[in-house]
Structure 1
Amino acid sequence: MDSDLRVTRTRRWGVVDAAWGVLASLILVVLLGAAALRGWPRDPVLGELFSYLVVWVPLLAAVLIASMVRGRRSLARDFGFTFRPLDLLWGLTLGVLARLITGFIEIAGYGRLGSAGATFGEPVRDLWWVFAALLAPVLISPVIEELFFRGLLARSVLAAGEASGGSRRAALITAILVSGAVFALVHVVSAGTPTAVMVIGLSTFIFGAGAAALALITGRLGGAIVGHVTFNALVVVPALLG
C-alpha cells in the first residue's frame, strides 16, 4: 500500500474540503435542472456543456484547493494520482465486471440493456461532437471524478476514521462505502424517474465502491481511472456504433 496513505492524517485537508465540493456540485446541478425546465439555455450545445461544468468545476476546484493551498501541492503525493502498468489490468477488470453487473441491474429495472438508452443521433463529427461524445464522458469525467471521489473524498474519510481511534479495517470499509454512496448521489440527483434512481444509483454505487477499494488498496488512482474509462466507454462506444 502507498506509504502516503499512512500519513494522510498529517495533511490539513479533509472531509470538510470534500463536503463543500459535493454540496456545491449538487446545488449547481439542481439549479441547472430548474433552469432547463424554464427553457434555459435554449442552445442544446450550451446546455450540454453546462451539464458537465456544473459537476466538473466544483469537484476539480475542491481537489486543487485542497492540494495547492492545504496540501503538498502534488496530486500524486496528496491523492495518489499515479499510474503503473499493473493498473491497466486492475482497471480493465474493474470496469468490465462493473459494467456486467450494471447490465443485470438495467435488465431488472428497465427490461433492457443500456442505462438511459444512450444514443447520439446522426454524428456530425465536428470538434463539439468529439468533445461531447468522446472526450467528456470517456476521458475528462473519469479523471476529474476519480481525483475527487477516490482521491480527496475516500482518503479524507479514511484519515478521519483512523484519527477517531477506530481500526484501519473499519476506516477502510467506511471510506469505500462513503465514496460509493456519494458518487451515486451525485449521479442520481437529476434522474427523472424512481426506476432511473434505482438503476443509476445502484450501478454507480457498485462501481464507486469498487473503484474506492482499488484506489485505497493500491494507493494509486491509476487503476480506478482506467476502470472508470472502461465503465463509461462500454456505454458510449456501442451507442456511437449503433
Structure 2
Amino acid sequence: MGAGKLGLMGKVVVQQPVSVLMPAGFGLVVAMVLLISADSTSFGDANVANLLGYLCVWVPMLVAIGVAGAGVARGGWGSALDGPGPAVRSDAAAAGAVSNPTGGFDSAPARAGGGDAGNGIRSRKSLLRLSIRPIDLIWGLGVGLMARTVASLMEILGFGSIGTAGATFGETVYNGWWLFGALLAPLLLAPFVEELFFRGLVLRGVYARVTALGAVRWAAPIAVGVSGLTFALMHLVTIDPGNTATVVVVGVSTLIFGLAAAALALATGRIGGAIVAHVTFNGLVIVPALLGI
C-alpha cells in the first residue's frame, strides 16, 4: 500500500503512486533496439556475437529494475508495485495491512526498526517478489513442462519435427565460451534476468496501474496479457518476418509460456515459480541438444 496522510474522521487517504512502467517501458524499447542492431551487425567471432546479444537484453532490463529499485528506496515507487491504488481506509486497516500483488492485503504489523512495512517503502527483494518456496519447484516444473509440450507440438505442426527452432551446437569445444553459451546463459542467467523484468517488474507495474485507474476486475488479465505479449515480442524482434512458420512457432510458444509464467507469479505472489518454469522450459531444449537426443 502506498504511503498515506491522516485525513478527517480518522481516515488514511492513500496517495497516487508514481508508475514504474516508465523505466520498464524504456528498458524494453532499448533492449529491442540494441538486439536488432546487434543482430544486423556482422561479427568475426560467433561467441562474441552471442555474448553481445545477451547483454543487449540483460543490461537495459537490469538498469530498468535498478531505476525502479532506486525509486522504491526514495519512497516514490514502492506503492506503485503493491496492490490497489488510491483508496480511503480506516486507521486500523491501514496500520496492519501490507498489500500483495494480487490486490488483496495480508495482515503484517510493522517490525520495530524496519521502516519498510510502516511507510510502504520496500526492499528491492520485496519490490520484485524475489522469493522461492518448495511448492514453487513443483509449480514451476509443471508449468515449464506443459509450456514446452505445447511448444513441441507447435514445432511438429510448423516444421515437421521437434527441436527445429531450438538450440543447435556445432563442433563442441569445452571452454568458457561453451559454458556460457550452452549452460549459464540459457539455463540460469536468461531465466533469472527475464523473469525479474517481465514477471517481477512489468507484471506488477501493469497490475498496479490498472488497479489505480479503478479497473480492479481487469487488473489481473491485463497484467498477465501485457507481461506475456512483451515477453513474446522480445523473442520475435530478430526473426525474419518472411519466415512465417518460425514467427508463428516462436511467437505462439513464447506467448503461451509468458502467459503461464505471469499467471503463476500473480497467483503465488512470488516469481520463484516462474524462474523455475523458465529454467525448465529452456532446459528441455538445451539438455537434449547437448546430449544429442
TM-score (normalised: structure 2): 0.75
Q: Greater share of strand residues, 1 or 2?
A: 2
RMSD of aligned Cα (Å)? 1.7
Aligned residues: 231
CA distance in 2, matches of 1:126, 1:13: 44
In the alignment, the residues of structure 2 paired with residue 141 and residue 73 of structure 1 have an alpha-carbon distance, to the nearest angstrom, of: 25
Find the partner of 1:208 among 250, 255, 258.
Answer: 258
Task: Tell me by how many angstroms 1:122 deviates.
Answer: 2.5
Greater CA drift, 57-66 or 116-125: 116-125
Residue 76 of structure 1, CA deviation:
2.0
**Equivalent-residue separation in structure 1 for 2:208 and 2:71 (angstroms):** 19
How far apart are the structure 2 equivalents of 1:143 and 1:223? 11
Query: What residue number does 1:49 align with?
Result: 51
Structure 1 CA distance for aligned equivalents of residues 287 and 17 of structure 2: 40
User: Whole-Å Cα distance in 2 between the matches of residues 29 and 114 of structure 1?
Assistant: 23
Q: Distance in 2 between matches of 1:136 and 1:11?
A: 35
Percentage identity across paired residues of the two chains:
47
Aligned match of 1:174: 222
CA contact (8 A) 1:59 1:144 kept: yes
Which one has the largest radius of gyration?
2
Q: Measure the CA separation in 2 of the matches of 1:131 and 1:235.
A: 16
Distance in 2, matches of 1:10 and 1:148, equals 23
For 1:42 and 1:152, how far apart are their aligned partners in 2? 36
Is contact 1:68-1:74 (8 Å) kept? no
User: Distance in 2 between the 1:115 and 1:146 partners?
Assistant: 25
* CA–CA distance in structure 1, aligned partners of residues 63 and 166 of structure 2: 31
Which residues of 2 match residues 207-226 of structure 1 at below 5 A? 207-226=257-276
Looking at structure 2, the residues matched to 93 and 234 of structure 1 have their Cα atoms a distance apart, in angstroms, of 12
Q: 1:67 to 1:24 in 2, by over 3 A?
A: same
Quote the Cα distance in structure 2 between the aligned partners of 1:198 and 1:50: 26
CA distance in 1, matches of 2:239, 2:204: 28
Report Cα offsets for 1:47-100 as digits up to 9, x if no partner. Answer: 111111111111111111111344456332101011111100000000000000
Any stretches of 5+ residues in structure 2 without a counterpart? 3-14, 73-77, 79-120
Structure 1 residues 115 and 58: alpha-carbon distance in aligned structure 2, compared to 1, 3 A threshold:
farther
Q: Is the 8 A contact 2:32 2:237 kept in 1?
A: yes
Alpha-carbon distance in structure 2 between the residues aligned to 1:180 and 1:114: 22
Amino acid at match of 2:218: A
Q: Which amino acid aligns with 2:212?
A: A
* Aligned match for 2:232, one of 184, 206, 209: 184
8 Å Cα contact 2:167/2:289 also seen in 1: yes
Amino acid across the alignment from 1:209: L
| Correspondence for 1:59 | 61
Question: AA paired with 2:266?
Answer: L
Q: From the superposition, tell whether residues 157 and 189 of structure 1 become closer, same or farther in structure 2 (CA, over 3 Å).
A: same
After superposition, the Cα gap between the structure-2 partners of 1:115 and 1:142, relative to the gap in structure 1 and judged at 3 Å, is farther
More helix, by proportion:
1
Task: Specify the alignment match of 2:206 in structure 1.
Answer: 157
Which residue is equivalent to 1:229?
279
1:14 corresponds to which of 10, 20, 24: 20
| Paired residues of 1:13 and 1:66 also in contact (CA < 8 A) | no
Gaps of 5+ in 1: none
Q: Is the 8 A contact 2:191 2:279 kept in 1?
A: yes
Amino acid of the residue matched to residue 62 of structure 1?
A: A
Judged with a 3 Å threshold, the aligned counterparts in structure 2 of structure 1 residues 20 and 224 are, in CA distance, closer, same or farther, namely same
Deviation at 1:13, TM superposition (A): 4.4
What is the CA–CA distance in structure 1 between the aligned matches of 2:130 and 2:21, rounded to whole Å? 19
